[in-house]
Every structure is written in C-alpha cells, then in structure tokens.
Amino acid sequence: MKSKFLLMLISVVFFLNACSKDDNDAAEILETPVANAPKDVNDNGFKAKWNYVSHSKSYLLDVSTSEDFTTILPNYNSKEVTDLNEVVTGLTGGTQYYYRVRAKTEAQISDYSNVISVVTTGSNGIPEDPTFLKVKVNKLANPFFVGMAIKASQLTNGTPYDVILRNEFSSISAEYEMKMDQISTASGVYNWTVADKIVAYGNANNINVHGHALVWHNAVPQWLKDFSGTDAEFAAEVKKYITDVVTHYAGKVKSWDVVNEAVDDNGGAMRNTIFLQRMGPNYVKDCFQWARNAAIAAGDTSLLLFYNDYATSTNIAKQDKVFAILEDLKTAKVIDGVGFQMHNTYLSPTKAQIETDLNRAVAKGLKIHVSELDIQVNQFNDISSFTNERRLAQKAKYKEIVKIYNALPAANKYALTIWGMKDNESWILYSTELNHPGNDWPLLYDSNFAVKSSHTGFLEGLD
Ligand code: GLA
C-alpha cells in the first residue's frame, strides 16, 4: 500500500515537472540571429549570410538601399529563407545595399539582427554567377541562346537594364525597332539610326542579334500601304526592302524572321494581308528566296532564316497550315528555322500541346526559336495584385517550357527569347486585344529589376 502511494507520488511529480518544462520552452525568447559579412559580391548581387539560431525554422531577410530600412526591396521584404544564406540577385552594379535578418519559429519571430552593409561591384566584368541565366545555360552540354526583347533606349551603358542584359542574356531581338515601318521611310529610303544602335550593341557585347522581322502585316509603312503601282511593282518594292536590309546587316545579324504571322487564326487559311492580296500565296516563299539571295550576294552564307508565328500549339488548324508552309519552304531549301512566339498563360498551352508542336519542327529538321516567351497570370483579369498562388503557377510554367526546350535535340536548338525584361514594361499591359490594362506580371523581373520566382523557374528548368 505504502509503495503504491509512493509510486503515485513520483508519477505526479514527474508529470508536473514535464508540464512546467513545456511552459518554459514556449516562453523562451527566440535568440536574435547574427548577420555576417556577405560573400560573392558582384555587380548584380551578393550572398547574404547569418548564424544559426536554435529552435528556428526559418529566417526573414530584408534587403534595403537605406540603412534604416525605410525602403525595402520588394523581393527581399521579409523573404523567408530556410538556409543560413541567400543569394540576393537583380541588384544594380556599384550600389550601396543593407541587409538584416530575423529568426522564426512556428510561434515566434525574433528581433532584428545587426545590419550588414554591402556595395555591389561595378559593371565591367561579367561575373560567373550560377544564378545568371546564360551562365547556367552555357554550362549545359548543348547550350542555346537566351534571348531578350529590347528597345534601343534601354541599351545605355551602366544602367540596370544594360547590366542585367549583359550578365544574363546572350541574344537580343528588337521588340519593334527593326520592323519595316521603322526602317523604311519611303521607297529605297531608310532610317538606320535606331536599328544600327541595336545591332552595334549586340556586336560590341558578344550578344547574338536576331533580326525581327522583315515582313509583318502590322508593320507596313504608310507609303507602302498607299502604294499605287501595279502588283508586280509592289512585289518589287518588297524585294528591294528585304534585299537592302539583309545586305546592310550581312555578317552582323545572325538570323532573321523573314515573315511574321502569315497564317490566320480561323480555320488555318493564309492571313488576308496586303502581301497576300498584292503578291499572291507564294509571297512567303518569294520573301525567303530574296532574303537568301541577298545574304549570299553579300557573302553571308550562314544567315539563318526563320518563319515566326503564334498560338500554333493550341490552334491545330493554324498549326497544320504553318507546317504546310514550312514544308513548302523546306522543299525550296530557303528556311532554317521556325519561331514559336509563345505568348502563353499560366494555364495554357499544356506541356503535351507544346511538345507536339515543337516535335513537328524537330521532325522537319528545323531550328527552333521560342521567340517571344511571356506567361500571363491574369488573362481573365480576376486578380488585382500578384498572388502567391499565381506566382508559383507562373514559376512552374516557366520551368516547364525551359525543360521542354532544353530536352530538344542539340541540332534543333537555337534560342529561347523572353519578350521583355520588367513586368511593368511588357506589351501585355498595353494590349487592347488582351484587355487587362496595367494588370499582369508576365516576365522574369519585377518593376524594380528584382528577379521573380519565374526566374528561379527558368533556372530550375535547366536541371
Ligand atoms: C507580336 C509580334 C512582336 C510584337 C508583339 C507585341 O507577337 O511578333 O513583334 O509586336 O506582337 O510586343
């Protein structure tokens, strides 16, 4: 009896002791982490580091341009990190930054650590940072160009735009400044100034220049729209334009989209453009032949000629018609590759649809350019800010297409081009057709040049 009572007493003491220990744990103040000096400082970012705090599950990292953290960079505003370091990217060269961290458990957040000051390096050398797109792509067994759509005004030396471009991209396409309505001011009269600047930038920085685009129904100069000569004279004007532009850039531009968007969206017919009306259904082949002849005459035997179009992965009638044209151009031996624009959304096209489309080009032995990639997250205009759910969906979709592209046979790879750098500058925000003005986040960098999860998705797609 006595020993039974003693056993009970011992159990009660143990129980009480256990309870009070739990209480003590919960009440324990989470230690403040110590931030360390940064590592791998370059002109685009650095690696922030800090010490382990016991019981912590993660850390919240702030990066700011001011020591008092009044303006915190959007991508690094309490960014939750589970490691003891984080590679901070998307910064401007030669600029002062500060960082600090807090430790976090399920229930608590610690005080702020000490503040670490770091200045990014100048923009001369291109650092071999593995988080830079082209750095990672160039390490692949079969690399390809990572392209960016640009405007001449964005190419000023030392600006964040220029620094990111040279760090991360190996090819450029002019968003609109190398189209016919920009270059051709009258019959045989050309304004080369802006286009020359773009091409010179690419050539000077060892960045591939993709010419976009010689013939497009949405970029016909007014004088040609109004042209009152015969159809044969109209065709001669187009031939003259193609010949003069290809000659002017021979050896400086590696590839051209010869014809852009010649196929209609409904039923897979030829699009009813001024070129079809004036030159007949063989106009696509004629344009390719003129471009090829001009290049050879100028001594450029390696110019690559592309046909470029959109929405072929989901619109099968259109896809069939595009591939019929490609077959025709192949037979005439005037084409090298096909550009799939890929103005996609976070829902469409599916992986299988993209693969089927691209594999048809593989079967034809054509080079493949994913030529204008962007991924909308608000095509139904149903969100007013960039939600985490859409951020992750977009990341997954970027990863998916990069994976598909990277898995193509080496001979079919050319370039994967992103259609713009910063979200707030994308054409999608201004398109009346897409009709969700100002309200989408389709690209790899936010409006402050900070890398988004989509950028990480791109990198992961290369693994
Ligand atoms: C099409 C064209 C591009 C560009 C975009 C909008 O996809 O091919 O040149 O004009 O529209 O930026």
- Whether the per-residue pLDDT at 371 is higher than 60: the answer is yes
Q: Is 433 a catalytic residue?
A: no
Whether 238 and 90 map to the same domain: the answer is no
Whether 143 and 115 map to the same domain: the answer is no
Residue at 232 is within a domain: yes
Which of 119, 152, 173 is the last residue in one of the domains?
A: 119
Whether 50 and 140 map to the same domain: the answer is no
Which atom of ligand 1 lies closest to the CA of 257? Answer: 8
Which of 65, 96, 119 is the last residue in one of the domains?
A: 119
Bridge-partner residues for 60, per DSSP?
A: 80, 102
Residue at 442 is within a domain: yes
Residue range(s) defining the domain that contains residue 39: 35-119
Whether 99 and 156 map to the same domain: the answer is no
What CATH number has the domain bearing residue 55? 2.60.40.10
What CATH number has the domain bearing residue 259? 3.20.20.80
Whether 424 and 283 map to the same domain: the answer is yes
The total of other beta-carbon atoms located within 10 Å of residue 310's CB is: 21
What is the arithmetic mean of pLDDT over 279-305? 98
What is the arithmetic mean of pLDDT over 262-277? 97
* Residue of minimum CA distance from atom 4 in ligand 1: 175
Catalytic: which of 372, 389, 425, 433? 372
177 CB under 6 A from ligand 1?
no
Residue at 3 is within a domain: no
Residue at 240 is within a domain: yes
- Three-state secondary-structure class, residue 270: strand
Tokens of 352: 């299988």
The CA dihedral of 175, 179, 182, 187, to the nearest 10 degrees, is 180
Strand-strand pairing, 79-81 and 85-88:
unpaired
By the 10 Å C-beta count (0-12 exposed, 13-18 middle, 19+ buried), 143 is classed as middle
Whether 316 and 262 map to the same domain: the answer is yes
260 CB under 6 A from ligand 1?
yes
Whether 169 and 102 map to the same domain: the answer is no
Do 224 and 185 meet the contact criterion of CB atoms below 8 Å apart? no
Out of 257, 312, 372, give the residue to mutate to test ligand 1, the one with the largest number of ligand atoms within 8 Å of its CB: 372
Whether 145 and 239 map to the same domain: the answer is yes
Residues 6+ apart with CB under 8 A from 167: 43, 44, 126, 127, 129, 132, 134, 135
Whether 238 and 375 map to the same domain: the answer is yes
Whether 321 and 264 map to the same domain: the answer is yes
Give the span between the Cα atoms of 184 and 199, in whole angstroms: 17
What single-letter amino acid sits at 317? A
* Residue of minimum CA distance from atom 3 in ligand 1: 175
DSSP codes, 272-307: --HHHHHH-TTHHHHHHHHHHHHHHHTT----EEEE
427 CB under 6 A from ligand 1?
yes
* Model confidence pLDDT, tens digit, residues 372-423: 999 999 999 999 999 999 999 999 999 999 999 999 999 999 999 999 999 9
Residue at 17 is within a domain: no
Whether 139 and 105 map to the same domain: the answer is no
Whether 48 and 178 map to the same domain: the answer is no
Which of 119, 144, 163 is the last residue in one of the domains?
A: 119
Into how many domains does the chain fold?
A: 2
Which atom of ligand 1 lies closest to the CA of 372? Answer: 7
Sequence-ordered alpha helix ranges (H) in 332-424: 351-363, 388-406
Tokens of 416: 């994967």
The total of other beta-carbon atoms located within 10 Å of residue 115's CB is: 15
Q: Which pTM was predicted? A: 0.76
Residue at 94 is within a domain: yes
By the 10 Å C-beta count (0-12 exposed, 13-18 middle, 19+ buried), 187 is classed as middle
Residue at 326 is within a domain: yes
Residue at 14 is within a domain: no
* Model confidence pLDDT, tens digit, residues 341-350: 999 999 999 9
176 CB under 6 A from ligand 1?
yes
* Model confidence pLDDT, tens digit, residues 129-157: 889 999 999 999 999 999 999 999 999 99
- Whether the per-residue pLDDT at 24 is higher than 60: the answer is no
